[in-house]
Amino acid sequence: MTFQDNTPEQPLLLRASKTTKFYGDRIGCQDVSFEVYPGEVLAIVGESGSGKSTLLNCLSTRLAPTTGAVEYRGRDGILRDLYQMSEAQRRVLMRTDWGYVHQHPSDGLRMTVSAGANVGERLMAVGERHYGNIRSNASDWLERVEIATDRIDDDPRAFSGGMRQRLQIARNLVTAPRLVFMDEPTGGLDVSVQARLLDLLRSLVSDLGLAVIIVTHDLAVARLLSHRTLVMRHGRVIEHGLTDQVLDDPQESYTQLLVSSILQP
């Protein structure tokens, strides 16, 4: 790392050290090391097949890396290796301290239960047993993600793609997580809906002081949301730095190609 823009007194939240995942002989991602600090948005960009999603899965305990470590600092202030923790601890982490926003909302939502129950599920999972509180909490969150509160009893199936994605975000944020993983959250949405979602995400992230690791192939998303950017190619990180620096003054030829291939209207 050639820069130090983080306030030194803030301890790091997540650290990947030489994280490597092989699928048989093929490389998923190799020797990826970086740190994420509280309140920081990190974008992972690259073309399809560059290992972005593999890396995200390794970080979010969905896929065990072949070698290397991923450490996370819990609310108790202790940095722990995620893959040394018990599965029960990892699952508690997944539904309290973390969020995971899938590209397709149907992967992250329960499509057969109402919007209110979707938002309330995590609350019930951590022991909330008061229906009135769960409901008012759910309705608050729907409002925050700009879904009309009279839609609280509708199935997500009755929602548009943009609404589903916002519902998925509300569902993840209801337990006040500290770190949210996002896998192409704006993929498959039309441009105006994308813009609205990005705007919403940006304000939520800054209001809540969330740390976010966002995987995207869309450099505009990285530009709008993230503080720092990792550029991946063939499973390796080829460039790493402040987003503006990476996108305005790309050093690697591949990054230069990526930046110059953005269509200018």
Partner 1 sequence: MSTPATSFTDHYNFAYLDEQTKRMIRRAILKGIAIPGYQVPFAAREMPMPYGWGTGGVQVTAAVIGHSDTLKMIDQGSDDTTNAVALRNFFVQTTGVNTTTHTKGASLIQTRHRIPEEPLSEDQVLVYQVPIPEPLRFLEPRETETRKMHALEEYGLMHVKLYEDIARFGHIATTYAYPVLVNERYVMDPSPIPKFDNPKMHRMEALQLFGAGREKRIYAIPPHTDVVSLDFEDHPFTPQEFDQPCAICGAEHVYLDEVILDDQGSRMFVCSDSDYCEERRTEGHTGHLGTNPLDAPSNGTAKDNASSKEACK
Strand partners, 32: 19
Task: List the one residue from 8, 9, 24, 129 that touches partner 1 (CB under 8 A).
Answer: 129
Applying the rule CB under 8 A, the residues between 67 and 86 that interact with partner 1 are none
- Our finding on whether 65 is near partner 1 (CB under 8 A) is no
User: Interface with partner 1 by CB under 8 A: which range of 26-34, 124-132, 177-185, 188-196?
Assistant: 124-132
- Our finding on whether 111 is near partner 1 (CB under 8 A) is no
Count of residues binding partner 1 (CB under 8 A)? 25
- Our finding on whether 108 is near partner 1 (CB under 8 A) is no
Task: List the one residue from 13, 117, 221, 258 that touches partner 1 (CB under 8 A).
Answer: 117
Length of the chain in residues, anyone? 265
- Our finding on whether 125 is near partner 1 (CB under 8 A) is yes
CB atoms within 10 A of CB 218: 16
Task: List the one residue from 121, 183, 184, 239 that touches partner 1 (CB under 8 A).
Answer: 121
Toward partner 1, which CB reaches closer, 21 or 122? Answer: 122
Task: List the one residue from 114, 188, 193, 227 that touches partner 1 (CB under 8 A).
Answer: 114
- Our finding on whether 91 is near partner 1 (CB under 8 A) is yes
Q: How near is the Cβ of 251 to partner 1 at its closest, in Å?
A: 45
User: Interface with partner 1 by CB under 8 A: which range of 27-35, 43-51, 109-117, 233-241?
Assistant: 109-117
Residue with tokens 């993929």: 187
User: Interface with partner 1 by CB under 8 A: which range of 44-52, 59-67, 125-133, 243-251?
Assistant: 125-133
Pair type for strands 67-73 and 79-81: antiparallel
Q: What is the per-residue DSSP string for the chain?
A: -----S-TTSPPSEEEEEEEEEETTEEEEEEEEEEE-TT-EEEEE--TTSSHHHHHHHHTTSS--SEEEEEEE-TTS-EEEGGGS-HHHHHHHHHHTEEEE-SSHHHHS-TTS-HHHHHHHHHHHTT---HHHHHHHHHHHHHHTT--GGGTTS-GGGS-HHHHHHHHHHHHHTT--SEEEEESTTTTS-HHHHHHHHHHHHHHHHHHT-EEEEEES-HHHHHHH-SEEEEEETTEEEEEEEHHHHHHS--SHHHHHHHHTSPP-
Toward partner 1, which CB reaches closer, 92 or 193? Answer: 92
The answer to whether 204 touches 144, Cβ cutoff 8 Å, is: yes
- Our finding on whether 103 is near partner 1 (CB under 8 A) is no
- Our finding on whether 102 is near partner 1 (CB under 8 A) is no
Toward partner 1, which CB reaches closer, 18 or 130? Answer: 130
Toward partner 1, which CB reaches closer, 1 or 125? Answer: 125
Q: Interface residues with partner 1 (CB under 8 A)? A: 87-88, 91, 95, 110, 113-114, 116-117, 120-127, 129-132, 134-135, 152-153
